[in-house]
Amino acid sequence: MCSTGGGLSIIWLIRHAAHEVINGIPYVVLYTTSAVGDGFINMATFIISYQILIPLSLYITVELIKLGQLYFLNHDLEMYDEMTDKRILCRSFTIAEELGQIQYILSDKTGTLTENKMVFKYCAINGRSYEPSLMSPMSENSFANRSVDEDEPVEVNEALRQALPRVADDHSESQASAVYYFFLNLAICNTVMVANQKYDQINNGYMEGEAFRISNSLFYLRPNDYPPTEPSTPAGRSGRSTNIQTPSSSRLVSILNPADIVRRLSSLNISSLFRKEEKIKLKSKKQLKIYEAESPDEYCLVNAAKSYGFNLAGRDLTHVSVNLPTQREYPHQRRLKLRVEKVLKFDSNRKRMSVILDMGDNRKLLLCKGADDEILANLCQKTLEQNLEAKKVVESSKVFLKQYSRNGLRTLCMAMKTMSNEEYNRWEVQHEVTILKVSCIENSDTPDQDEQISQSYRRLETNLKFLGLTAIEDRLQDGVEETISSLRKAGIQIWVLTGDKKDTAINIAKSCQLFDSQTEICACNTEEDLINLSSFPGKYNVAFSSPIVKLLEAGNPTAIAAIQKASAVLCYRMTPSEKETVVKTVKKHLKGKVLAVGDGANDVPMIQSADVGIGISGQEGLQAVMASDFALARFKFLKKLLLVHGHWFYYRLANVLLYFLYKNAMFVFVLYWAQFYSGFSANGIMDP
């Protein structure tokens, strides 16, 4: 526009011989002696006049609009979860409008679609499945640091529980040995710690009898300063410590304030504390035992072992203690204390963890738990070939694995291995050499380092003896089915990425309405499966694992075409790194806005790789929330976040942008068209 105006100005001045007119042309200002010079000056004037076409004020206006929209989002009561007392948290102010452009949602399963509150349902030992007895007490476990003494036991098989005391006393027989070491595995093969008080109570303070304890300090209150107490507890529970509840009285707050306690104590006559008649006597209190677990799965298994009588009593760096079931009356339990030689931590490549114990008599015991495919692949094949009974147990257990998986239950296999001290020492020397080599690598965070350590663990976790398996239920969150159904109707393709095995993952996909009953389910493992899928008529749901992920990452056109045609996608047996790869692949090859949602630390790479990251504030810490753009308390809130707030974010900002462009263009084009009637002199037709 400016160049056109400048060129037409030169033509107009030459045609009208403006520089040759003696008194000049009225209202036409000449700055030079040539038409070309004045034309360039007029062009510069046009640039100044037309600069309003660039909506500089739009930047500030858009930021203010985003701020207002996020205010309404933060105060949406329908996105507040009363159970957890958490609302939506907006951690990014720059991508709100992208919520209305999402084409792909990639979601974790455990803790995101499910409650992540594990319930122990079944176990299979020696090829026999043990289901809860009809008369067994029922409960739902929760991961929130439940006390060991709670009156909500796990559903147990009464016949098995009654037989365990005899098994614990004499487990020399083969079948009894498998049962004994199975429950010992449940209780020991984990990282669960046993504490007397919850971590937050230790920091905030709690009442212990007639004293107030905070951290490592103990304070005694004067009798008239004691807070009001609850009525006496029923018999058999009078020994529990009383936790401080949030007081309603300001006086009670002052009494229990640590700083106020110190002030009060400093004002006392110290010598009076040592008078015999005023000496405070503390009664012996029975301490609570709290399980502090890193994951809900570990807590669930330890709590299940406790319900069967194998009670984890304590753990430190070198030893672990377990109370064994006994035929004698409680509290005279027989305690087993074992030295822990090594803990082979869980990693997503091995998909298992192990604990090595010193059993004495020149023996070491390795207890291992993990994914069924990894455990079964590392069993002692020689034993299975020679012992038909052991082979029959494994085959029966495989049947139970399929049965539990089809019911949507999470399965874990238990195994063990006994070795001599010499065999363990040889491995330990090799492992130390591996650690030394790894420590010499300049970049200590390289993937090759973790792989070398994992390979060292694998060398020991071979020739295992199969013990049994467990089945754990993880229920879906409320509203997940309706949310996924609504998002699919909105045209969004939903992917679920899970580490579960195929049968379990497909069952959960059906339960949460990811896979509907009207659409065919196609499982793909090879490129040939994808080629056959491309000729499939109509829509379909697809399920695949790592091999197809590698094809997608490589940009295989057949794989990409098959995935684009799918109604929904399920990826099973996914590691955290593979989840990240899937997100990056979808962004690169499917060309659409990608949203990733997860709840745990293993979901952080996936969340950070997506265009929009959603963190669910669940049971596994706040790592996902801290890495996300938006934090939700429940998956069901995603429906309103995208379909309501996301829609309005995008719609409002798009309309504001169009309005500003229209407003500025209208003003500028009035000036532009007026130049055809003013000799392109760059004169304004409106007073400034």
Extract the tokens encoding 364: 């070491």
**pLDDT score, position 332:** 60
* Own/partner long-range contacts of 623-629 (Cβ < 8 Å, ≥24 apart): 624/598, 624/599, 624/600, 625/89, 625/91, 628/91, 629/90, 629/91, 629/92, 629/95
Verify whether residue 478 is a known catalytic residue: no
| pLDDT band (50, 70, 90) for residue 259 | low
Domains, in order of start, for the chain: 1-78+654-688 (no CATH), 88-113+477-635 (3.40.50.1000), 115-195+290-472 (3.40.1110.10), 199-226+247-268 (no CATH)
**pLDDT score, position 15:** 78
| pLDDT band (50, 70, 90) for residue 582 | very high
Please give the backbone phi and psi of residue 297, each rounded to the nearest 5 degrees, phi first.
Answer: -60, -45
Please give the backbone phi and psi of residue 308, each rounded to the nearest 5 degrees, phi first.
Answer: -95, 5
CB 69 within 8 A of CB 649: yes
| pLDDT band (50, 70, 90) for residue 48 | confident
Distance CA 140, CA 119 (A): 6
Is residue 400 predicted with pLDDT exceeding 90? yes
The three-state secondary structure class of 514 is: coil
Residue burial 493-530, b: 16+ Cβ < 10 Å; e: rest: bbbbbbbbbbbbbbbbbbbbbbbbeeeebbbbeeeebb
**pLDDT score, position 179:** 93
What digits encode the pLDDT tens for the residues 649-666? 999 999 998 988 888 888
Is residue 221 predicted with pLDDT exceeding 80? no
**pLDDT score, position 95:** 87
- Average pLDDT value for residue range 108-113: 91
- Average pLDDT value for residue range 508-526: 89
**Amino acid letter at 187?**
A
Is residue 333 predicted with pLDDT exceeding 80? no
CA distances from 533 to 133, 255, 519, 521, 564 (A): 46, 72, 14, 11, 12
What digits encode the pLDDT tens for the residues 132-170? 875 444 433 333 333 333 434 678 888 998 888 888 887
Q: What is the mean pLDDT of the chain?
A: 81
Distance CA 5, CA 124 (A): 87
| pLDDT band (50, 70, 90) for residue 514 | very high
Distance CA 161, CA 157 (A): 6
Is residue 209 predicted with pLDDT exceeding 70? no
- Which of 298 and 226 is assigned the larger pLDDT? 298
- Average pLDDT value for residue range 320-327: 87
What digits encode the pLDDT tens for the residues 337-374? 999 999 999 988 889 999 999 998 889 999 999 999 99
SS3 content of the chain, % helix, strand, coil (to 5): 45, 20, 35
Residue burial 124-145, b: 16+ Cβ < 10 Å; e: rest: bbbbebbebeeebeebebbbeb
**pLDDT score, position 234:** 41
- Average pLDDT value for residue range 405-431: 93
**pLDDT score, position 651:** 92
Distance CA 469, CA 130 (A): 10
**pLDDT score, position 216:** 57
**pLDDT score, position 144:** 34
Out of 121-130, 278-287, 353-362, pick the least confident. Answer: 278-287
List the one residue out of 485, 410, 388, 397 whose CA is nearest residue 114: 410
**pLDDT score, position 665:** 83
Is residue 287 predicted with pLDDT exceeding 70? no
Is residue 237 predicted with pLDDT exceeding 60? no
Please give the backbone phi and psi of residue 361, each rounded to the nearest 5 degrees, phi first.
Answer: 55, 35
Is residue 570 predicted with pLDDT exceeding 90? yes
Is residue 282 predicted with pLDDT exceeding 50? no
The three-state secondary structure class of 87 is: coil
Extract the tokens encoding 199: 């971590």
- Strand arrangement, sheet containing 593-598: 89-90, 630-632, 612-616, 593-598, 102-108, 493-497, 568-571, 540-544, 520-524
Residue-by-residue DSSP string for 227-238: PP-PPPPPTT-T
- Which residues have C-beta within 8 Å of that of residue 308, sequence separation ≥ 6? 156, 160, 161, 164, 183, 325
| pLDDT band (50, 70, 90) for residue 247 | very low
Is residue 231 predicted with pLDDT exceeding 50? no
Distance CA 254, CA 258 (A): 9
Q: Are strands 319-324 and 206-208 parallel, antiparallel or unpaired?
A: unpaired
What digits encode the pLDDT tens for the residues 590-617? 888 999 999 988 899 999 999 999 999 8
Out of 16-30, 526-540, 615-629, pick the least confident. Answer: 16-30
CB 113 within 8 A of CB 508: yes
Q: What percentage of residues in the chain have a pLDDT greater than 90?
A: 38
Selecting among 81, 85, 108, 200, the annotated active-site residue is 108
Q: What percentage of residues in the chain have a pLDDT greater than 70?
A: 80
Is residue 229 predicted with pLDDT exceeding 80? no
- Average pLDDT value for residue range 399-408: 91
- Average pLDDT value for residue range 398-422: 93
- Which of 131 and 229 is assigned the larger pLDDT? 131
Is residue 445 predicted with pLDDT exceeding 80? no
Is residue 313 predicted with pLDDT exceeding 50? yes
- Average pLDDT value for residue range 300-312: 92
Distance CA 502, CA 523 (A): 9
